[in-house]
Chains A and B, each alone.
Chain A
Amino acid sequence: MSQMIEFLTRVGADSSLRFGSGESLCAAMDAMGLDGEMRSCVSAGDAEGVRAQIVQQSAYFVALMPPFSAALMPAFSVALMAPISASLVAPFRAAPSDVS
């Protein structure tokens, strides 16, 4: 597995591997002894296939931001919008009590 990570790191950092004709990618896979399904997935640019062979949990959460302040939750109502919009300059700062 760590060999595969090393391989991906090399591909990411080397334009001839990442954007080249494919021959240099094949040569790099040969040098690493990469064969079978992993080789097919890499050649096909099938990231899901690569993930399926390396990690168990392939879907990761990516959201890192709420659309509005915690003060609106859980009940969203128009009445609550005025105080929230007044804090537009720093809209998503939770009050200290929000960070428990």
Chain B
Amino acid sequence: MSASAIATRGRLVCVGVGMTLGSHITPIAQSEIDHADVVFAGVSDAIVELWLREMHPDVRSLQPYYAAGKSRHDTYGEMVEAILVEVRAGKRVCGVFYGHPGIFALAPHQSIELARAEGYEARMEPGVSSEDCLYADLGIDPGTFGCQHFEATQFIVYKRVVDPSAWLFLWQVGLVGDLTLGKLGTGPAYRQVLVDVLMRHYPGDHEVIVYKVPTLPIERPSIRRVRLDQLVDTVVSTSETVAIPPAKALVLDPTVRERLDALRHADVA
């Protein structure tokens, strides 16, 4: 391949700008934005998008691909295609997503996979996700009891193995139960289904936390603590994550314990 052909070869990097404007952007994400020919913006706040527009002259919002009543499967497919069109045109493309671009986010993973399959250089740079902020603001260490993360609708439509001795984090609760993927949010009747599923594992008076990290730096985190059975009547926005603390103590496995004791006594390295 000639030098000029290499120079015009498209490439893709998906970066995260974190959750809070100005606080979380990493130097490498900033550098990718600065050096891109085209920037696609999949962010959660119109002001964050304006902030990106201050950084780069060609920022293309991914918001127009969404619409009420339109399946998000179509939306995500169109996002991937829009990104790939520019990569194929030989551009240096930066996909900018809020939070971490690879956490509960389809289009960044899929566009990177597709770009690579078509022979283009493509990679992802991590960002500060809502999960990271949640650990900081709620004072949770995921290692203390372990944790499970599920997309809320996936959690209820599939039979999952829930461990009530670990933390449970549910994402996209604001859309829980929407099988059309076209709703802007779901209400109490849908949350009732979620609560019914959760009450197979947790008592109704178990405290759950509805959490939101600010996207603008003038706000404080929103932390609402409600009983599980009150979650039905608690409006949960699409920008909130639900954290469910462990309800049961960790239970030792005596068989494993005996095996480990035997190894210890035998002084096995």
Contact = CB atoms under 8 A, between A and B. Distances in A.
Interface of A: 1-2, 5-6, 8-13, 17-18, 41-42, 45-47, 50-51, 54-58, 60-68, 70, 72-74, 76, 81, 85, 92-94, 98-100
16 contacts: A5-B47, A8-B218, A10-B22, A12-B22, A12-B23, A56-B46, A57-B46, A62-B44, A62-B98, A63-B72, A63-B172, A63-B175, A74-B179, A74-B180, A76-B157, A98-B73
In this complex, which of A12, A54, A74 has the most chain B Cβ atoms within 10 angstroms of its Cβ? A12
Interface stretch (B107-115, B187-195, B247-255): B107-115
B47 A6 contact: no
Contacts of A46: 218
A64 B51 contact: no
A67 B154 contact: yes
B21 A8 contact: yes
Contact of A94 (B77, B157, B175, B220): B77
Interface string B228-245: 000000000011000000
A64 B217 contact: no
B51 A63 contact: no
A70 B114 CA distance: 17
A65 B218 contact: no
A63 B174 CA distance: 9
Contact of B77 (A5, A76, A99): A99
A18 B157 CA distance: 41
A64 B62 CA distance: 11
A12 B54 CA distance: 15
Contacts, number: 137
Contacts of A93: 110, 113
Given A66-B73, A66-B181, A99-B110, A60 B22 contact: no
A73 B105 contact: no
A65 B180 CA distance: 13
Contact of B215 (A1, A47, A92): A47
B50 A54 contact: yes
Interface of B: 20-23, 42-47, 49-51, 54, 63, 66, 71-73, 76-78, 80-81, 97-98, 104-107, 110, 113-114, 151-154, 157-158, 171-172, 175, 179-181, 214-220, 238-239
Contacts of B151: 65, 67
B216 A8 contact: yes
A65 B106 contact: yes
A54 B47 contact: yes
A75 to B, nearest CB: 9
Nearest to A71: B73
Nearest to A54: B47
Contacts of A45: 218-220
B54 A99 contact: no
Contacts of B153: 67-68
A58 B216 contact: no
B185 to A, nearest CB: 10
A37 to B, nearest CB: 14
B81 to A, nearest CB: 6
Contacts of A10: 22
Contacts of B22: 8-13
A76 B158 CA distance: 12
A23 B51 CA distance: 25
Which 9 pairs, one residue from A and one from B, show the smallest C-beta to C-beta distance? A12-B22, A67-B153, A12-B217, A55-B46, A64-B105, A67-B154, A61-B66, A62-B44, A9-B22
